[in-house]
Amino acid sequence: MKRDPGLYDYLPYDRRPKIRWRGGAHVAFWLAPNIEFYELDPPLNPTRSAWPRPAPDVLGYSYRDYGNRVGFWRMLETFERCGVRGSVSLNVAVCQHHPEVIEACAARGWEFYSHGTYNTRYLFEMSEAQERELIQDSIDTVRQHTGQKLDGWLAPALTYTERTLDLIAEMGLTYCCDLFHDDQPGPVKTKNGRLASIPYSLEMNDAIAFSINGLSPRAYGDIIKRQFDRLYAEGAESGTVMCIPLHPYLVGQPYRIAAFEEALAYITRHDKVWLATGREIAQHFLAHDYAAFAAAGETAGEAP
């Protein structure tokens, strides 16, 4: 095991090249709805049980199922009213289980990136061959069902091996959302290819806000606005990224969606905001900033 992931250089916030977003925007803002399928009785991964209760965990399973049956459709209307697209963090098996959800996103020009096959199949302890098979499955399924080239990766249920980011870069993906070390994109050091880390934010994630931190819907709207205000102000100096990761089964609950919409509308009312997708942010960063950022980093990872 490594003591340092060795995935990025140390590049302090006050000493790095300036990012200039399109149209002089201060913030590249993107929404990352996690469209997921959790299996009722998945195979066991020895590192992690899929459910807190023995299968069938009716409460856990049905709570997540609410997202596809109900919550997604409410969230979709909210996005439309605010004029924003989603970048879908997709368990690609949803293409088979619920193609109507995929069609609704595709029809609105949303991006699809991979969040693994199911949220109940974990990368921990996978062989390299299994991991390659899983990534190829995502590339093929997204291409086949949406016509899109797969560019982004958020590991299913945030499970990894040491080789995950090397493999996705080698297999042609261009960005990952798995690193939480920054508010700007950054280069990821991989064996092959060029991979950008795009800020995704666990702090703004509705699953963390609601299910871990127990925030009320209005308190969630409030932290979204505070996060945005600060990144907007700092972005006048050098462009920042704000992501709101969402789960339709959470934000799409009746008592939550209106408070979220109010916060989202607050953001979209600002003029120096670039309403982007994950892919567009990655493309911009790779084309304009990646090289300068890579050159500016100091070698990190020399643990005492």
Residues that bind another protein (CB under 8 A): 37, 39-41, 43, 45-47, 52-56, 58-59, 61-66, 68-70, 73-74, 93, 96-100, 117-118, 121, 125-127, 130, 133-134, 137, 214-218, 253-259
Name which of 1 and 287 has its Cβ closer to another protein. 1
Residue with tokens 């969606």: 257
Name which of 164 and 190 has its Cβ closer to another protein. 164
SS3 245: strand
The alpha carbon torsion through 198, 199, 202, 207 (nearest 10 deg) reads: -60
Residue 7 dihedral angles phi and psi, to the nearest 5°? -100, -15
Name which of 59 and 233 has its Cβ closer to another protein. 59
Nearest to 179 by CA among 166, 165, 191, 167: 165
State in angstroms the smallest separation of the CB of 162 from another protein: 14
State in angstroms the smallest separation of the CB of 127 from another protein: 6
State in angstroms the smallest separation of the CB of 71 from another protein: 9
Name which of 49 and 238 has its Cβ closer to another protein. 49
Residue 112 dihedral angles phi and psi, to the nearest 5°? -115, 125
**Strands 111-114 and 87-90, sheet pairing:** parallel
State in angstroms the smallest separation of the CB of 209 from another protein: 11
Residue with tokens 């605010």: 82
SS3 175: strand
C-beta separation of 201 from 27 below 8 A? no
State in angstroms the smallest separation of the CB of 100 from another protein: 6
Residues present in the chain in total? 304
State in angstroms the smallest separation of the CB of 31 from another protein: 20
CA distance 272 to 275: 10
Q: Which amino acid is at 149?
A: K
**Strands 27-35 and 240-246, sheet pairing:** parallel
State in angstroms the smallest separation of the CB of 206 from another protein: 12
Name which of 224 and 241 has its Cβ closer to another protein. 224
Name which of 140 and 229 has its Cβ closer to another protein. 140
Name which of 41 and 237 has its Cβ closer to another protein. 41
Nearest to 225 by CA among 27, 72, 84, 79: 27
CA distance 86 to 213: 24
